[in-house]
């Protein structure tokens, strides 16, 4: 049992629901529970896709400033690795992850959303990395994931100014993938996740690894990794199913088992 992060699974889709009113601030307990939940999502074969969800009113409005205010530099030096690791555990999940964002995704909330493969945003949501306004910098991956996602100059604009952006600008920047009315956010994320959950799990794992690891290396190394993973999925049952279905019935009709 956990206090602030609930894990619910239905039809191959896990929802990691953060519930720490009023704004789901990421304190130490939430961070640790997110890490544990990510480990369970990775371990369970019945989980094929994951949704990050903060509820209908707010995703995550940031880290717990009151908790951090009492911490010294020495305290944070001891804790900083675990802070980053808690979100990195989600980013490393070998399964599709979708962030369903309502209300605010600020500071640590934006960093949490950045760990996902896709971000669905309410049309009235606010996004940003306002840590500089507190005299600090993003410490849960924001300087690294945001720059890789939207480019260094755009990331520096958001991080240096600490300004909030609305969903429309976030979409234009490439920070957000889909913008829908607030009451459609979770349903949209569910539909996306359900499609992935029906897909070939091992091929999706390989594709995510090839892209994420490939981005961290040079092109030649990335191409070698892609070739290795491409060959490996030829040993899967879903490769046989997918190709046989294509030959018999055309594209998009295969029923995959995840094996």
- Residue 52's DSSP bridge partners are 16, 99
**Secondary structure of the chain as H, E, C letters:** CCCCEEEEEECCEEEEEECCCCCCCECHHHHHHHHHHHHHHHHCCCCCEEEEECCCCCCECCECHHHHHCCCHHHHHHHHHHHHHHHHHHHCCCCCEEEEECCEEECHHHHHHHCCCEEEEECCCEEECHHHHHCCCCCCCHHHHHHHHHCHHHHHHHHHHCCEEEHHHHHHHCCCCEEECHHHHHHHHHHHHHHHHCCCHHHHHHHHHHHHHHCCCCHHHHHHHHHHHHHHHHHCHHHHHHHHHHHHHCCCCCCCCCC
Environment class of residue 147 by beta-carbon count within 10 Å: exposed (0-12), middle (13-18) or buried (19+)?
Answer: middle
User: Which residues are annotated as catalytic?
Assistant: 111, 131
Name the burial class of residue 162, with classes exposed (0-12), middle (13-18) and buried (19+) by CB atoms within 10 angstroms of its CB.
Answer: middle
């Amino acid at each position: 049992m956990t206090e602030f992060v609930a894990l619910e699974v239905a039809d191959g889709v896990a929802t990691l629901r953060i519930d720490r009113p009023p704004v789901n601030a990421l304190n130490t307990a939430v961070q640790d529970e997110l890490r544990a939940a990510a480990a369970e999502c990775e371990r369970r074969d019945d989980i094929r896709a994951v949704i990050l969800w903060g509820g209908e009113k707010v995703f995550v409005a940031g880290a717990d400033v009151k908790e951090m205010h009492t911490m010294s530099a020495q305290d944070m030096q001891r804790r900083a690795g675990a802070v980053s690791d808690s979100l990195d555990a989600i980013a490393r999940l070998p399964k599709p992850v979708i962030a369903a964002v309502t209300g605010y995704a600020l500071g640590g909330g934006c960093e949490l959303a950045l760990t996902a493969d896709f971000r669905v945003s309410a049309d009235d949501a606010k996004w940003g990395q306002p840590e500089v306004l507190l005299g600090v910098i993003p410490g849960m991956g924001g300087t690294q994931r945001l720059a890789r996602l939207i480019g260094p100059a755009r990331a520096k604009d958001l991080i240096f100014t600490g300004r909030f952006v609305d969903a429309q600008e976030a979409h234009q920047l490439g920070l957000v993938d889909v913008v829908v009315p607030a009451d459609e956010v979770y349903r949209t994320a569910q539909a996306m996740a359900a499609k992935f959950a029906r897909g070939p799990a091992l091929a999706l794992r390989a594709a995510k690894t090839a892209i994420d690891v490939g981005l961290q290396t040079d092109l030649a190394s990335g191409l070698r990794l892609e070739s290795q993973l491409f060959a490996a999925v030829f040993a899967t049952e879903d490769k046989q199913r997918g190709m046989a279905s294509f030959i018999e019935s055309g594209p998009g009709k295969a029923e995959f088992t995840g094996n």
